[in-house]
């Protein structure tokens, strides 16, 4: 369920366009009219919304909507485009695997409207990218979700991705597809509006998650590896190379193949590892001469 709920991610570039619309060849969809005007006037739209993953259509809730990798745009009764509160709905549907109490008046800003605070680099990113007007109010503190430190807001989720360069570690979570699946929208709305290279495998976007963020010194860990193409469809039959670097310096490697859902579930024994160490997991996914890489980690404890 963790893997299936998390199918989305950013790319860059654009195709032919006019003043009132724009085509995104990386995902195969147009953004038109009011939705395009909203997108076009939003600074860092590719970072905050990602790219379109659906057509414009009437949602199950009766609203005119369009889904993006990181958000959903909706047309209100006043004919104004706004962000849907998908963060609230998804947080209600997913309990965290753990919570972090990091409240610090020197590094945090509290919001009386919800009783939650935004802190440190999350606060810097939040204030630099629209704050409440874009994300809504924070509805949680720091939590562990999908093996990441995350914080939910009314309109989305911020994540801490430690493998990224300095200044880019705080990222808007890819929740658009997860919300699309949660509310059971019409799957045909995800069918691309143009073909061509979108039907070819141009890139592989692997992801790797651990079942447990922390294990015992002698334990079993479960890895979930997901392979998707440039339009976030599963890549079945891809070759997966798994490399685990243990805290004691030893290395374990193995090879697997993705199933029909583009997924590998890998059981990893943990044996005689030092307390407090971090195990690094690196994966390379290859198919048809195209490959992608991803990594994650987990800590050894007690």
Q: What is the pLDDT of residues 57-93, one digit of tens each?
A: 999 999 999 999 999 999 998 999 999 999 999 999 9
Q: Is the CB of residue 205 less than 8 Å from the CB of residue 9?
A: yes
| Cα separation, 240 vs 206, whole angstroms | 9
Indicate the helix (H) or strand (E) that contains 133: helix 132-135
Helix ranges, the chain (H): 33-41, 45-48, 86-93, 120-128, 132-135, 176-182
| Cα separation, 149 vs 147, whole angstroms | 7
Tokens standing for residue 263: 């997924």
pTM of the model: 0.64
Q: 200-300 belongs to which homologous superfamily?
A: Macroglobulin (MG2) domain (2.60.40.1930)
| Cα separation, 207 vs 252, whole angstroms | 19
Indicate the helix (H) or strand (E) that contains 126: helix 120-128
Q: Is the CB of residue 231 less than 8 Å from the CB of residue 198?
A: yes
Domain ranges of the chain: 21-190, 200-300
Q: pLDDT truncated to tens, each residue of the chain (302 aa)?
A: 444 444 443 333 343 444 688 988 778 889 999 999 999 999 899 999 999 999 999 999 999 999 999 999 999 989 999 999 999 999 999 888 888 777 677 889 999 999 999 999 999 999 999 999 999 999 999 998 877 899 999 999 999 988 888 888 999 999 999 999 999 999 999 988 765 555 566 788 899 999 999 999 999 999 999 999 877 788 888 999 999 999 999 999 999 999 988 999 999 999 999 999 999 999 999 988 889 999 999 999 87
């Amino acid at each position: 369920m963790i893997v299936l709920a998390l199918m989305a991610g950013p790319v860059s570039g654009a195709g032919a366009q006019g003043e009132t619309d724009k085509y995104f060849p990386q995902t195969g969809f147009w953004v038109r009219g009011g939705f395009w005007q909203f997108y076009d006037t939003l600074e860092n739209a590719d970072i905050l919304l990602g790219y379109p993953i659906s057509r414009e259509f009437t949602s199950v809730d009766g609203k005119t909507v369009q889904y993006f990798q990181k958000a959903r745009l909706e047309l209100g009764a006043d004919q104004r485009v706004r962000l849907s509160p998908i963060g609230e709905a998804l947080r209600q549907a997913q309990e965290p695997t753990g919570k972090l109490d990091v409240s610090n008046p020197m590094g945090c800003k509290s919001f009386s409207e919800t009783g939650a605070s935004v802190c440190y680099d999350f606060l810097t990113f939040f204030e630099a990218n629209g704050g409440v007007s874009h994300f809504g109010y924070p509805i949680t503190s720091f939590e562990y979700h999908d093996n990441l430190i995350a914080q939910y807001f009314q309109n989305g989720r911020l994540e801490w991705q430690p493998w990224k360069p300095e200044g880019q570690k705080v990222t808007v979570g890819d929740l658009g597809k997860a919300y699309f699946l949660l509310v059971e929208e019409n799957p045909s709305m995800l069918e691309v509006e143009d073909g061509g290279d979108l039907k070819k495998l141009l890139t592989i976007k692997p992801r790797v998650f651990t079942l447990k963020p922390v294990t015992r010194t002698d334990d079993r860990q479960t890895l979930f590896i997901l392979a998707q193409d440039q339009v976030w469809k599963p890549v079945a039959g891809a070759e997966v190379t798994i490399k685990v670097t243990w805290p004691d310096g030893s290395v374990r490697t193995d090879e697997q193949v993705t199933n029909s859902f583009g997924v590998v579930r890998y059981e990893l024994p943990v044996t005689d590892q030092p307390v407090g160490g971090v195990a690094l997991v690196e994966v390379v996914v290859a198919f048809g001469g195209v490959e992608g890489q991803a990594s994650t980690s987990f800590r050894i404890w007690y």
